[in-house]
Amino acid sequence: MPEFLKLHSVNEAKQIFFENLGIAHPNSEIVASIRAVGRVLAEPIVSKEYLPAFSRSAMDGYAVRAVDTFGASESLPAHLKIIGELPMGTTPILTINSGEAALIHTGGMLAEGADAVVMLEQSLITAQGDLEVFKTVSQGENVIFKGEDVEPGDEVIPAGKLIRPAEVGGLFALGYTQVKVAKKPLIAVLSSGDEVISAEQTPEPGQVRDINSEALAVFIEQNGGEFKLYPIIPDNLEQMERSMRQAYGEADAVVVTAGSSASSRDMSADVIRQMGKPGVLIHGINIRPGKPTILAVCDGKPVIGLPGNPISALVIAQFFVKPMLKWMLGQTSDSPIPFVKAILSVNVASSAGREEWIPVKLVQKQDHVEAEPIFFKSNLIFQLASADGLMKISADETGKMAHSEVDVMIL
């Protein structure tokens, strides 16, 4: 196994990886809109109707002609005749003429002749049953007009959009009870190592339960994919090649943990090089944790080799497995990674020349959020489980000073 020849930055590695992947062509399926949250839209949604379908009130109040309120004030209110109430859920039969008003409720259809709504709290009914208006309203005030949100032919949700509850509401508003979404990609997940056993087994001295497979499986599911777990691979080249080729043939992408560092036992890169062109693109990233990461494309199919240490594997999954899944789903709407500003509680040292991500706890103080570093060892999963986020130290920094402001990526 050759030593690492060049360490790429995270951004360089991403660029090389995705340039070789090219344009994704995800398969699609039809799902009920009520079940579409978290899925990626496969084709644009185009409105066939106006939304709202009629002009309606945005407030409880009185439908009026705006011109009849001009100059109204508390000292000199406008006086209007109340001619009735506009019903909900049907077309009003009333017409608002000059000097007239009608009671209207939020969402009610505006009557013919009316072009504004006076809020209840800006008016008063006199003893004689007339309406006093204490504030001038302009044309269109407190009114949502027909088609103000959407008109026929408008593209309301583009293809590649991640569907959230708001999009589901919009789909139902336009009568879309079903929607075409990208089919979830199937990701093969493998772990390797003679010392690794399944969670159901009791470890003997020198053995550890497999943490990475299950943690990565739920990470994949959380980010829009489906997973298939494969048996743990022993440190045997023939077995590694057989398992990897099986996974490669059955899934849309392969993620394998361990077997990526530059030791005599590690064989992942050698096997991946034989699986398709161009093969291994990146073997070594200038980041801690996660230096021995492998990024490969084998005949158009992505293959990622993650470090065996659980914290390293999950940190690198954030930077490469997650965007790989977005690519496979055709997700073009890229929600920003959630960061928060925090004040560092203690000094944190770092070696210049390598990007570093430190797990931190976030503690709400009276006037700020404090970041408490977790000085971790990368094979201790509960140190990551206790973290709220990851603090970045850039490659050109030698650390962070206590009481300085830092950016924390929320996990």
The answer to the question of residue 194 being in a domain is: yes
Encode pLDDT of 363-411 as tens digits: 998 889 999 988 765 555 666 677 888 888 888 888 899 999 998 888 7
Return d(Cα 87, Cα 110) in angstroms, integer: 10
- What percent of the chain is modeled with pLDDT above 90? 66
Report pLDDT for 3: 43
| Residue 235 lies in domain | 10-27+183-329
Encode pLDDT of 196-206 as tens digits: 888 888 888 98
Give the helix ranges, DSSP H, for 46-174. Answer: 165-173
By three-state DSSP, how is residue 10 classified? Answer: helix
Could you tell me if 89 and 223 lie in one domain? no
CA 80 to chain centre: 52
- Whichever domain contains 167, its CATH number is 3.90.105.10
Could you tell me if 270 and 391 lie in one domain? no
Could you tell me if 36 and 22 lie in one domain? no
- pLDDT-based confidence at 261, cuts 50/70/90? low
- Structural contact between residues 219 and 321, judged by C-beta atoms closer than 8 angstroms: yes
- Whichever domain contains 302, its CATH number is 3.40.980.10
Q: Which of 105, 67, 93, 98 is nearest to 81 (CA)?
A: 98
User: How many folded domains does the chain comprise?
Assistant: 4
pTM, to two decimals: 0.82
Report pLDDT for 264: 42
Q: Average per-residue pLDDT in the chain?
A: 90
Residues with Cβ within 8 Å of residue 375, at least 6 apart in sequence: 358
Return d(Cα 403, Cα 371) in angstroms, integer: 9
Could you tell me if 241 and 256 lie in one domain? yes
Could you tell me if 213 and 325 lie in one domain? yes
Could you tell me if 354 and 374 lie in one domain? yes
Return d(Cα 221, Cα 240) in angstroms, integer: 25
The answer to the question of residue 347 being in a domain is: yes
Encode pLDDT of 279-338 as tens digits: 999 999 998 888 889 999 999 999 999 988 888 888 899 999 999 999 999 998 766 678
- How large is the average pLDDT for residues 43-58? 95
Encode pLDDT of 59-102 as tens digits: 999 999 999 999 999 999 999 999 999 999 999 999 999 999 99
